[in-house]
């Protein structure tokens, strides 16, 4: 079993650089959520993620990486940060999707990375099961 992993893409996260000034936590899942014009989906997807992780007792963080969406995704993210605080971290990146994921990984504190989209096509309720199967 990989000590560090990325669910969905399964790359060894051991090859990732340490986040600046911090070492990676063990058994922590960093959910990378790239957004472009996802203002309407974001509150629900974040709520579902928080529910799914907290009910299963899994250590996690959510990193929202927005590309300067013109629909006000950033404003919604700021409101969500007030509710969820340090569980939620916001990163901005002005490039395409691939580099957005890399940017998120560079700032992830977890030793496992979960990549998903904010379309609600990947339902957070399945993540604990993925994790169990992976172990």
Ligand X SMILES: Nc1nc2c(ncn2[C@@H]2O[C@H](COP(=O)(O)OP(=O)(O)OP(=O)(O)O)[C@@H](O)[C@H]2O)c(=O)[nH]1
* Footprint (CB under 6 A) of ligand X, residues 103-132: 117-119
According to the binding rule CB under 6 A, does residue 77 interact with ligand X? no
Q: Out of 34, 60, 105, 111, point to the residue binding ligand X (CB under 6 A).
A: 34
The binder of 35, among ligand X, Mg ion, none, by C-beta within 5 to 8 A per type, is: ligand X
**Separation between Cα atoms, residue 135 and residue 26, nearest integer Å:** 14
**Separation between Cα atoms, residue 91 and residue 64, nearest integer Å:** 6
CB of 74 to Mg ion, least distance (A): 18
CB of 119 to ligand X, least distance (A): 5
Helix 73-84 vs helix 42-56: crossing angle, to nearest 10:
30
The end-to-end CA distance of the chain, in Å, is 7
Cβ distance to Mg ion smaller for residue 27 or 71: 71
Buried b (16+ CB within 10 A) or exposed e, 14-44: eebeeeeeeebeeeebbbbbbbbebbebbee
According to the binding rule CB under 6 A, does residue 100 interact with ligand X? yes
Is beta strand 60-66 parallel, antiparallel or unpaired with respect to 5-7? unpaired
Q: Out of 25, 36, 56, 74, point to the residue binding ligand X (CB under 6 A).
A: 36
CB of 101 to ligand X, least distance (A): 9
Q: What residue ranges bind Mg ion (CB under 5 A)? A: 119
Q: Out of 31, 32, 62, 65, point to the residue binding ligand X (CB under 6 A).
A: 65
CB of 122 to ligand X, least distance (A): 9
Q: How far is CA 57 from CA 32, 53, 79, in A?
A: 19, 6, 25
């Amino acid at each position: 079993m990989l000590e560090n992993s990325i669910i969905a893409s399964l790359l060894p996260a051991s090859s990732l650089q340490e986040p600046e000034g911090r070492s990676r936590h063990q058994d922590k899942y960093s959910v990378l959520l790239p957004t472009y014009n996802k203002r309407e989906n974001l509150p629900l997807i974040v709520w579902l993620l928080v529910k799914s992780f907290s009910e299963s007792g899994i250590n996690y963080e959510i990193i929202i990486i927005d590309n300067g969406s013109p629909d006000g995704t950033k404003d919604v993210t700021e409101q969500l940060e007030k509710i969820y605080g340090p569980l939620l971290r916001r990163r901005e990146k002005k490039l395409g999707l691939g580099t957005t994921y890399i940017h998120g990984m560079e700032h992830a504190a977890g030793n496992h990375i979960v990549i998903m989209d904010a379309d609600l096509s990947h339902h957070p309720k399945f993540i604990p099961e993925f994790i169990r199967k992976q172990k």
